Amino acid sequence: MEIRKNQPFHRRLRHSLAGVAHGLRGEHSLRTQAVVLVAVLVVLVILHPAPLWWSIVIIASSSVLAAELFNTAIERLADHLHPEVHPEIRIVKDCAAAGVLICSVGAVGVAIALAIQLYRG
């Protein structure tokens, strides 16, 4: 199936949502991060932080989910192009996983900062 550039928005949206659905079906870590995001949103509703905190938490959380999806895409492409174990492919996969780790650590930092702000608050 050939995907052409400059498709209408509704088609691009459908492709994007298919990617999210694939990631949620196939990646345990993405499902875990999505559940954490829902829990965090519930906590935000309960605690009523300032709107700035909502935006910071949403940016941090969406960054983690995006990193998970990028990692999934890179791993799938690498496995498809080179199914055998190869040291260079391992480095590519490790770097993609490291990107997820860095985003996750940043999101935890945001959570800690929010908790401190609410505690002092």
CATH number at residue 80: 1.10.287.3610
Rounded distance, CA 96 to CA 114, Å? 27
The domain tally of the chain equals 1
Hey, what are 27's tokens?
Answer: 């990646």
In-domain check, residue 2: no
In-domain check, residue 4: no
Range of the domain at 34: 9-120
pLDDT value of residue 1? 60
Q: Average pLDDT over the chain, rounded to whole?
A: 93
pTM of the complete model: 0.88
- 4 confidence band (pLDDT: 50, 70, 90): confident
In-domain check, residue 91: yes
pLDDT value of residue 56? 97
In-domain check, residue 3: no
pLDDT value of residue 21? 96
- 57 confidence band (pLDDT: 50, 70, 90): very high
In terms of Cβ atoms closer than 10 Å to its own Cβ (0-12, 13-18, 19+), residue 6 is exposed
